[in-house]
Amino acid sequence: MIEPLKIEPTHKTPRVYFDPSEGAFEISGRSIPEDSVGFYKQILDWIDFYGSNPEEKTHFKFEFEYFNTSSSKNILEMLKKLEEIFHKGHDIKITWYYDEDDEDMEETGTDYKALLSVPLELLMKLH
């Protein structure tokens, strides 16, 4: 069994909580790291490894407060890796949460959905 990946949030980086034994795959909060490639590498490597032997069902939850465009490219990389796992025949579902007041986050989710062929659901969070 793959080790979980858990990263505590900071003012600049999101909380990461990937624990297959709990069925939890969540990334949430802010993402404006100085070195976005460095920060996301560990996440992308983990997903690669997880994809070699995934659980029967995987539900990834993206719940960002805000992120910059440098992070947006890394987030696309994450989603592409999940898409690869999906195309290998595994059951992958993604939920993209956005605040009801945040039309930019909704728009970004819509863009990702348009660029990918993995099931991606947009879900509005009400106050």
Contact between 126 and other proteins per CB under 8 A: no
Applying CB under 8 A, which part among 15-23, 53-61, 71-79, 84-92 lies near other proteins?
A: 71-79
The yes or no reply on residue 104 touching other proteins (CB under 8 A) is: yes
Q: Which of residues 4-23 bind other proteins (CB under 8 A)?
A: 11-12
Which span sits near other proteins by CB under 8 A: 50-58, 68-76, 85-93, 117-125? 68-76
Residue choice 17, 25, 50, 67 for contact with other proteins (CB under 8 A):
67
Sheet containing strand 24-31, strands side by side: 5-7, 15-19, 24-31, 57-67, 91-99, 120-125
Residue 127 is which amino acid? H
* DSSP per-residue codes, the chain: -PPPEEE---SSS-EEEEEGGGTEEEEEEEE--SSHHHHHHHHHHHHHHHHTS--SEEEEEEEEEEE-HHHHHHHHHHHHHHHHHHHTT-EEEEEEEEETT-HHHHHHHHHHHHH--S-EEEEEEP-
Residue span binding other proteins (CB under 8 A) among the ranges 20-28, 32-40, 50-58, 89-97: 32-40
Instruction: Answer yes or no whether residue 34 interacts with other proteins by CB under 8 A.
Output: yes
Residue 124 touches other proteins, criterion: CB under 8 A: no
Q: Please give the residue ranges that form the binding site for other proteins (CB under 8 A).
A: 11-12, 32-34, 36-37, 40, 66-70, 72-74, 76-77, 99, 101-105, 107, 111, 114-115
